[in-house]
Amino acid sequence: IIPSMIHLDSPSLSHEKVALLQNWHLILADANDTAPSNPSVTSATYIPHSKIHTKNSTTLTAVRTVLTIRIITMDRPLALNRLLTSMKSARYDNDLVNIEFYVDKPAKEQTKDYKSVLEIVNSFSWTHGTIARHFETTNAGIFKMWVRHFPASFVPNATDLLMVLEDDMEVS
């Protein structure tokens, strides 16, 4: 799945394309929640940026998006702090954003950096959703951490999204 943005003010966007995007629940507004000026996008097809809609039998109903962010980490406290700082600075509108920490255990000894990561994870507070903390009892390694904590059964949809991040990443 590759996220994309389609500029709805494009004059080449036909009524058929707009209808297809609406059926896929992909018509969104800009960051200011203003309706695009494309004549194919009417008030019936316009969906504000801060809401995602799903169809029921007769009407469109607003549904809150749930984003789960899984963070894989072990012994890089500076990188983890940088990621968490960037996450706290990001804009989530009114969406629910849950965080799940997955902390791998070092193969040999518990280093000062590993202990710092444990402190960061255990003391982290988050106002956009819930926090879950998972700690490996043996060393898994980065490959197994990805495989174990990215469910094969996960199917993204209009309201439930999953993002897996390593501690050396940042969001904006």
Provide the residue-wise pLDDT of the chain in tens; the chain has 172 residues. 334 444 444 555 556 666 655 555 555 443 444 444 544 444 444 444 344 344 444 444 455 678 889 999 999 999 999 999 999 999 888 788 999 999 999 998 878 999 999 999 999 999 999 999 999 999 999 888 888 777 666 666 667 888 889 998 988 7
Cβ atoms of 108 and 79 closer than 8 Å: no
Amino acid at 88: K
Place of tokens 């991040």: 165
Residue-level pLDDT at 147: 81
E strand map for the chain = 52-55, 60-63, 66-73, 96-103, 131-135, 160-166
122, 162 in Cβ contact below 8 A?
Answer: no
**Residue listed under structure tokens 């949809």:** 157
Q: Report the alpha-carbon distance of residue 158 to residue 84 in Å, rounded.
A: 25
Measured between its terminal Cα atoms, the distance across the chain in Å is 20
Q: How far is CA 138 from the centre of its chain?
A: 28
Residues in a beta bridge with 73: 103
Rounded-to-integer distance, Cα 120 and Cα 118, Å: 5
Q: Write down the pLDDT at residue 156.
A: 64
Predicted local distance difference test score (pLDDT) of residue 51: 44
Report CA dihedral (136, 137, 142, 148) to the nearest 10 degrees: -60
55-88 in b/e form (b: 16+ CB < 10 A) is eeeeeeeeeebebbbbbbbbbbbebbeebbeebe
| pLDDT value for 144 | 87
What is the model's pLDDT at position 20? 58
